[in-house]
Homo-oligomer: A and B are copies of this chain.
Amino acid sequence: MKTRDEALKKAGLLSEALPYMQRYDGRCIVIKYGGSAMTEGLRADSFAGDVALLRQSGVRPVIVHGGGPQIDRFLKERGIESRFHNGLRITGDEEIAAAEMVLAGAVNKAIVRQIAAVGGRALGLSGMDAGLIEAEPLDKNAETLGFVGRPRQVRADILHLLLEKGIVPVIAPIAADKKGQRRNINADVAASAIAAALKAARLLILTNVPAVRGEDGLPMPSLSLEKARALIKKGVIQEGMTPKVETCLEAVKKGVEAAVILDGRQPHALLLELFTDQGAGTLFHARRPPHQKMRTNP
């Protein structure tokens, strides 16, 4: 009799997800899936299942992934030490070739396979494919950083084409500039640009750290652009978190409804954030929070 009660409970819980599904029906959700988050095996399964469930529920998920630790390991196996400048990988010929193989080859296809394994349908792209992203050199420190780039333009028609057919785009943040030179792009920044081009309902940045904390040291469920800028100025938002927060603010400024930094180490973080009232991180919004939703501390 126990399974029967469980089934009843399950059906009841399922039915509670309806208003959340309706809220995002037909809307794009861009998910930055970090290389660190990925390396914890169990989470990967839950991640792919969550993505497939979003798709099945009428949401249009787009994944942008990183792969820093995987590139580090790859280079190390070849006896090359990863070097960074202000948190950005110094990228020479060896590094850009490695980034391409690891990101567009290994990591990208692993995610595609994970989604297929749970019955979804995904297609892996780099920024070069179908001219999705045109890169340009990151303006300052170009000499120091080498082939590091940033998105100059996003041509999103291919994403709409795939989403229309129920296919989940999985994007490796490597693109060519006007001269055809490959350039490595920070995955958060790529995700933000893509979210802006799609006028997404959400940019979700999955990290392996807890939520942003306020002056009282407590996690903050949501923040307006203004307030977030104030906290950065005051130094309350810590150094490592600052560029992530700024990427979120940029996305919101460019028309994304809201951006969320959330702890990807939680199981089903995506469902928690989108399909329950709990939320799973810190949400950044323009003036008013979307849906006037009350968020409790994560």
Chain A residues at the B interface, C-beta cutoff of 8 Å = 3-4, 7-19, 21-22, 25, 46, 49-50, 52-53, 56-58, 77-78, 97, 100-106, 108-109, 112-113, 116-119, 121-126, 128-131, 157-158, 161-162, 165, 167, 174, 176, 180, 182, 266-268, 271-272, 275-278, 296, 298
Q: A102-B105, A130-B122 are in contact. Are A271 and B22 (CB under 8 A)?
A: no
> Looking at the complex, which one of B8, B49, B158 makes contact with A15 (CB distance below 8 Å)?
B49
Which residues does chain B contribute within 8 Å of A7, judged by CB atoms?
A: 272, 276-278
| The one of B12, B50, B298 that contacts A268, using a Cβ cutoff of 8 Å | B12
| A78 shortest CB reach to chain B, Å | 7
CA distance A116 to B179 in the complex (A): 10
Copies of this chain, whole number: 6
Main SS of the interface on chain A?
helix
| Cross-interface CB contact of A267 among B11, B16, B57, B161, cutoff 8 Å | B11
Contact A18–B123 (Cβ < 8 Å) = no
List of B residues within 8 angstroms of A271 by Cβ: 11, 14-15
Q: Min CB distance, A284 to chain B, in Å?
A: 21
A49 pairs with B124, CB closer than 8 A: no
Q: Contact at B275–A53, with CB atoms within 8 Å? A: no
Give chain B residues whose Cβ lies under 8 Å from the Cβ of A123.
Answer: 125, 129-130, 158
B116 touches A131 (CB 8 A): yes
User: In the complex, what distance in Å separates the CA atom of A117 from the CA atom of B100?
Assistant: 18
Contacts of A157 in B (CB 8 A): 165
Residues A14 and B17 in contact, CB atoms below 8 Å apart: yes
